[in-house]
Amino acid sequence: MKKHIFYLTLILIVPLTLYILSLKTVVPIPSDDSHAGITEVQGCFECHGDDKEYPRKKTHPPKDQCFNCHKADKKPAATKGYS
């Protein structure tokens, strides 16, 4: 019986953990003029490189394949209530 409770707990905890992790949403790439039409990661560093004008936070995840995590914000800004 103890064993059953152990497995049951495990079965419940795994999806719960995944769910909580999925809540840490990645901010989308804004759909403004600065970001329009950039298809190369190299372009991102023009502004978000460490020594550039808008460096990423120190806590930013280390990987440099921006598009793996950041997707373009498809919706035009107007539909989200600001212009």
Give the footprint of ligand HEC on this chain (CB under 6 A).
Answer: 26-27, 29-30, 34-35, 38, 41, 43-44, 46-48, 54, 56-57, 59-61, 63-66, 68-70
What's the min distance (Å) between Cβ of 3 and ligand HEC? 37
Residue 13 or 40 having the CB closest to ligand HEC: 40
**C-alpha span between 78 and 26 (Å, rounded):** 21
Rounded to a whole number of angstroms, the minimum distance from the CB of residue 10 to ligand HEC is: 27
Which tokens go with 18? 């995944």
d(CA 49, CA 63): 13
Nearer to ligand HEC, 4 or 57 (CB): 57
CB 31 within 8 A of CB 77: yes
